[in-house]
Amino acid sequence: MSVVIDGLQYANWSEKIFRQMRAGGVDAVHVTITYHESFRETVLNIEAWNRQFERFPDLIFQGFGAEDVTRAKETGRTAIFFGAQNPSCIEDDIGLVEVLHRLGLRFMQLTYNNQSLLATGCYEAEDTGLTRMGREVVAEMNRVGLVVDMSHSSERSTLEAIAHSTRPIAITHANPATWHAARRNKSDRVLGALAESGGMLGFSLYPHHLQGGGGCTVSSFCEMVARTVDRMGVERLGIGSDLCQDQPDSVVDWMRSGRWTKAVDYGEGSADAPGFPPMLEWFQDNRHFGAISDGLRAVGMSIAEVEAIMGGNWLRFFRESFGPNEAAL
């Protein structure tokens, strides 16, 4: 059974988007539920999701394990898996790792652009790698089955997370820096270590991560994917669209500036273009995953390879990653 899984989205969720996910045949999505929010604020975000689940049971439900992806496929719905883009939600308390995992958190970035209590973000000048707490928290995440995500982290921290983690990690939404040298894209060294450790890369469709930005063509994107298959192996790759549909620009302010600065941090944007960039003409929303699979076929990939990248690899990774570590039992 082939499935479509998106490795990261952060939309302004609504019935319209849930229906677009059904129209696009999206069986599961890893959704960001929190950035700089405290634990209590994150729980409020979970409560808001619970209301969506209660309101739209025919369209969505919360996913906890890989079996929920097949259940979604079989019942014509989309399974929603929770993730955090920064570890603010665990505050200074390692005990919250297990608590948030129980509430369904399945991915957590160790950093979002800045230094955190755990590791260094990709916008810091100095990267000191995993902190003392970072090493403890990665071990606890390994124990309970919460995936380490290093999408917004810096080089050394990412390499140390890959090395220190006893289970494969993910870079849910980024592209190879050799294709487009953005600060958020990843070096060959990182991608090689990620592949070797059994980790996953989700290809981003966020314009700032693309060669040519919003003008990137589907064939350029798909040729990049094919070249990454040659480098990392097809089984290490998925999609992590980074779709931020229908969000007001106040949200990108929160993502970038949180409560850590009184000024405005433009992140990947600039003073001239401070908001969300317009999405690609060929990937506007969840209805357009077919453009990617068609494009991957057009650059010569087999049906089996395309199915693996569109969801099969994430499904295997979910199965291996979301439960307690067998070694810990």
Measured from the CB atom, the residue of 47 and 326 that comes closer to a copy of itself is: 47
Measured from the CB atom, the residue of 64 and 123 that comes closer to a copy of itself is: 64
Which one of the spans 98-106, 124-132, 166-174, 214-222 is the region binding a copy of itself (CB under 8 A)? Answer: 98-106
Contacts of 184 (CB under 8 A, 6+ apart): 122, 151, 152, 174, 204, 208, 209, 268
Among 102, 189, 259, 319, which residue interacts with a copy of itself (rule: CB under 8 A)?
Answer: 102
Regarding 50 and contact with a copy of itself (CB under 8 A), the answer is yes
Measured from the CB atom, the residue of 197 and 325 that comes closer to a copy of itself is: 325
Among 65, 104, 198, 277, which residue interacts with a copy of itself (rule: CB under 8 A)?
Answer: 104
Per-residue CA distances from 305 to 221, 230, 241, 301, 310 (Å): 16, 12, 18, 6, 9
Among 22, 70, 71, 99, which residue interacts with a copy of itself (rule: CB under 8 A)?
Answer: 99
Regarding 139 and contact with a copy of itself (CB under 8 A), the answer is no
Among 22, 39, 155, 265, which residue interacts with a copy of itself (rule: CB under 8 A)?
Answer: 39
Regarding 46 and contact with a copy of itself (CB under 8 A), the answer is yes
Interstrand relation of 28-34 and 60-62 (parallel, antiparallel or unpaired): unpaired
Task: Output the furthest CA–CA distance in the chain (Å, rounded).
Answer: 53
Which one of the spans 5-13, 72-80, 102-110, 222-230 is the region binding a copy of itself (CB under 8 A)? Answer: 102-110
Among 1, 23, 44, 298, which residue interacts with a copy of itself (rule: CB under 8 A)?
Answer: 44
Q: Measured from the CB of residue 22, what is the shortest distance to a copy of itself in angstroms?
A: 20
Regarding 65 and contact with a copy of itself (CB under 8 A), the answer is no
Angle at 203 between CA 202 and CA 206, to 5 degrees: 120
Which one of the spans 19-27, 95-103, 147-155, 240-248 is the region binding a copy of itself (CB under 8 A)? Answer: 95-103
Residue 109 is encoded by which pair of tokens? Answer: 């970035």
Measured from the CB atom, the residue of 95 and 290 that comes closer to a copy of itself is: 95
Q: Measured from the CB of residue 54, what is the shortest distance to a copy of itself in angstroms?
A: 8
Sequence-separated contacts (24+) of 59-68 with Cβ below 8 Å = 59/15, 59/18, 59/19, 59/21, 59/22, 60/18, 60/21, 62/104, 63/28, 63/104, 63/106, 64/104, 64/106, 64/322, 65/318, 65/319, 65/322, 65/323, 66/315, 66/316, 66/318, 66/319, 66/322, 68/28
Q: Which of 233, 231, 205, 201 is nearest to 218 (CA)?
A: 205
The amino acid present at 102, given as its one-letter code, is: R
Q: Which residues contact a copy of itself by CB under 8 A? A: 39-40, 43-44, 46-48, 50-51, 93, 95-96, 98-99, 102-104
